[in-house]
Amino acid sequence: MKEIKQIIQAYHQALSDGKKAVLATVVHIEGSSYRAPGARMLVRDDGMLTGAISGGCLEGDILRKALMVMATNKPLLVTYDTSDEGSNIISVNLGCNGIIRVLLEPIQQKNDHNPIKLLEKAISKRQKAILVTYFSPDDKKHVLQGTKLLFTPNGVTSDQDHLPFGFSFIEADIQNTWKQHHSGFIRFPDVANNAASFHAFMEYLEPSPALVIAGAGNDVFPLVEIAKTLGWEITIVDGRPMYANENRFPTCQLLLTEPKDAIGKVNIDERTAFVLMSHNYDYDKAILKTILHSPVKYIGLLGPTKKRDRILQELGEEGVAIPEDTGIPQNLFAPTGLQIGAETSEEIALSIIAEIQGIFTGNTGSSLRNLNGHIHHRKMGLVPSKKCYGIIVLAAGQSKRLGFPKQAVPFKGSTLLQHAITQAAALKTAATLTVISAGDEQRNLATITETEMVENPDFQEGMASSIRTGINHILKHYPYLEYLIIMLCDQPYVESSHLQTLIDTQQKTGKKVVASLYEGRKGVPALFHRSLFPKLLELRGDTGAKNLITELGNQVVSVPFPLAAYDVDTTVAIEKIADNNKL
C-alpha cells in the first residue's frame, strides 16, 4: 500500500510539473523474481522513477520502453526471461530463474477510470478490493490491455468503453478470487475467435496494517518510526496530553482518552494490531479487557510473563472468558516480540514489528537459511476462467424404477430438477445445459432462464444418448469450452460447493478428469477435459460416464463426496429426503 500511495503522489506531482507518465506493473511471473505481481513503478518523461519492479535490474530498460509508450500512447507488455540467455524474449541474466511480465500503461489524464484513478479509489477506504489488469501474451501491443476494473464491497468501477470483456463475463472469476483471499491469474477463452487471447491479473488488495499503541512514552518512538517506514497506519492512545501530542507524534493519529473509551474511537478490523506499552499496569489491563475478544489479530503486551499471568487471572475473576486449556488467548502475545535478544527500545521495536508482520502473513519468523524450498509461496498458476467450463445436467429418462417422473419430486421447497439446475447455475460457468426427454413436460418444472433446455430425441435409449445430446450441443454452440461437468438431477445432496471443488481440484492438479468418490468408486458429478469428448460421444445404451471413468483408472483424480451415493430411484429414497433431508 505504501508504494501505491507514493505512486499516486508522484503522478499528481507529474501533472503539476506538466510531465507525461507511464505506469509499469508486474502482472505475472513464472519461477522466481525479486518483486511479486502487483509491484509498480511510475515513469515520468524526464526519467524520474517512483516505485520499483525489480531489484534495480530492469528499471533502465523499462524507462526506455516507457518513453516509447508515451510516444505511441498505447500499452505494451514486456516479457523478461531472467534465466535463459538463449530465449527469444528479452533475456536478463539476473540469477532469479524466472519469467517476468511487465505491463506499461500510458496514463490518460482525461480518463476518469485510468489506472491511477482506480488505485486512488482502491485505497480510499479501509476495505478489501480486487483490481483487474488485462494483458495479452499473444499481442504485446493490444490496445485493450491495462488496469481496467475495480471491485469492492460497494460496487464495480470500470473503464467500460475499453474493456476486453464486460463485468458479467468475469464476475464468477472475481467472486472466486474474493473467496480465496489471494490474487489470481485467469486465462480467458477466445470466445470471438480473435487473434489474441487475454489473461487477467486479479490483484487482491488488503488495507495496510493498522498499529494502535497504548502509551506515548519515549520508548514508543522507535516502534512508530519502523511502522511508518513500512507504511502502516499508526494510532497513539494515551490519557496524558504532555506525552500524546502533535509535537511528539506529528505523523500519528492521537487519541487522548480513558481506556474504556478507546475501543469506541478506533476502527478495528482483522488487519489491526495493538501493542500495550503504557507502563501503567491498570491502563494496559483496562485496554486489554476491551479488546481481548474483538477482531484484533495481534495484541502485544510489554512486560514479563508475571505481569501477563496476573492480568489474565484478574480478568478471569472479573468474568472475562480466558481459555482453560492454555490460559492464554490466541491473539495475545505476551511478552510481545520475537526472541532475538532485544535489549534497547530500538531492538525491542524491531522484534515487535517483525512478530506482527509474521502473524499477519502467517509465518513463524524462523531463519531463512533453515528453509527448504522457495522463500515465497506465491500462487502464480494461470488457471482457466469460469467461462472455459460448462455443466450438463442429465434430466431425461423414464424413471422406470420409480414409476413416475423423479424430476418432479419435491425437494427443499422446489423440485429435484430445479434444485440441480440452481446448484449448477450458481457457478456461473459459460453454459448450464439441461438435457430432457423430447416433448418432456418436465420443462415446466424449472426456471428456464437459469439453464438451456435441450431435448434428447433418443432418450429411450438410455443415459448415453443424453450425454451425446449435451456434448453435441456444446460443441456446436460453445466450441471454446475446455471442460464439462456432467451431473444428474436425482442426486439431491450435490450442491454448488462440491461442483466448485471439482473445478478447484482440476486447476490444482491439471488432471483431465476429476470425479466424485463415494461407496468406494468414482462417479458423477465428474469433470472432463474436451480431449475426452470423443470418448463420451462413443457411449451407447444406458451406459453413463462412470464406465469411462473406470476405464481411465489412475488418470482420474477423485474428490471424496459420500452423499453422492444418495439418488432418487425408489419411493424409499423419496421418504428419506421428505422431511427436509436430515442426513
DSSP one-letter string for 175-242: HHHHHHTS-EEEE---TT--S---EEEEEEE-PPPEEEEE--SGGGHHHHHHHHHHT-EEEEEES-TT
6 with 150, same domain?
yes
558 with 428, same domain?
yes
Q: Does 380 fall in a domain?
A: no
CATH code, domain with 337: 3.40.50.720
Query: In terms of pLDDT, which residue wins out, 197 or 279?
Result: 279
Q: Does 559 fall in a domain?
A: yes
Choice among 43-47, 212-216, 368-372, 375-379 with the minimum mean pLDDT:
375-379
Q: Does 371 fall in a domain?
A: no
For residues 57 and 60, give the distance between their C-alpha atoms in angstroms, rounded to a whole number. Answer: 7
Domain boundary among 164, 187, 205: 205
Strand residues in 93-152 grouped as ranges (E): 98-106, 129-135, 146-152
Q: Residue 378: pLDDT band by 50, 70, 90 thresholds?
A: low
Q: Cell triple for residue 184?
A: 489470481
Which residues form the domain of 271? 210-361
Query: In terms of pLDDT, which residue wins out, 341 or 91?
Result: 341
Closest among 549, 566, 447 to 502, alpha carbons compared? 549
CATH code, domain with 421: 3.90.550.10
Q: Grid coordinates 453454459 are at which residue?
A: 431
% of the chain exceeding 70 in pLDDT: 89
pLDDT tens, residue by residue, 526-572: 999 999 999 999 999 888 888 899 999 889 999 999 998 887 766 66
Longest dimension (CA), the chain: 88
Query: In terms of pLDDT, which residue wins out, 543 or 475?
Result: 475
Q: Does 376 fall in a domain?
A: no
Q: What count of Cα atoms within 13 Å lies in the side-chain half-sphere of residue 495?
A: 6
Question: What is the count of structural domains for the chain?
Answer: 3
319 with 433, same domain?
no
Q: What count of Cα atoms within 13 Å lies in the side-chain half-sphere of residue 276?
A: 29
- DSSP conformational letter for 531: G
81 with 158, same domain?
yes
Tally the residues of the chain.
583
Domain boundary among 361, 394, 413: 361
572 in Cβ contact with 578 (< 8 Å): no
pLDDT tens, residue by residue, 204-215: 999 999 999 999
235 with 304, same domain?
yes
Q: Residue 414: pLDDT band by 50, 70, 90 thresholds?
A: confident
For residues 264 and 282, give the distance between their C-alpha atoms in angstroms, rounded to a whole number. Answer: 19
506 with 567, same domain?
yes
Give me the DSSP letters along 258-303: -HHHHHHHS---TTEEEEE--S-HHHHHHHHHHHTTSS-SEEEE-S
For residue 580, pLDDT over 50 is answered with no
Q: What count of Cα atoms within 13 Å lies in the side-chain half-sphere of residue 303?
A: 19
For residue 573, pLDDT over 80 is answered with no
Domain boundary among 297, 329, 361: 361
**Which residues face 276 on adjacent strands?**
214, 301
Mean pLDDT of 344-373: 89
32 with 173, same domain?
yes
320 with 182, same domain?
no
232 with 317, same domain?
yes
pLDDT tens, residue by residue, 153-172: 889 999 888 888 888 899 99
335 with 397, same domain?
no
Q: Does 543 fall in a domain?
A: yes
Which pLDDT does position 93 carry in this prediction? 47
> Parallel, antiparallel, or unpaired: how do β-strands 389-394 and 431-437 relate?
parallel
Mean pLDDT of 129-153: 94
pLDDT tens, residue by residue, 75-86: 999 999 866 555
Neighbours of 319 (CB within 10 A): 6
266 with 399, same domain?
no
109 with 18, same domain?
yes
Q: Does 296 fall in a domain?
A: yes
Q: Does 373 fall in a domain?
A: no
Q: Does 352 fall in a domain?
A: yes
Which residues lie below 8 Å from residue 448, measured CB to CB, with a gap of 6+?
none
User: What CA–CA distances, in Å, run from 323 to 180, 292, 316, 329?
Assistant: 30, 12, 10, 6
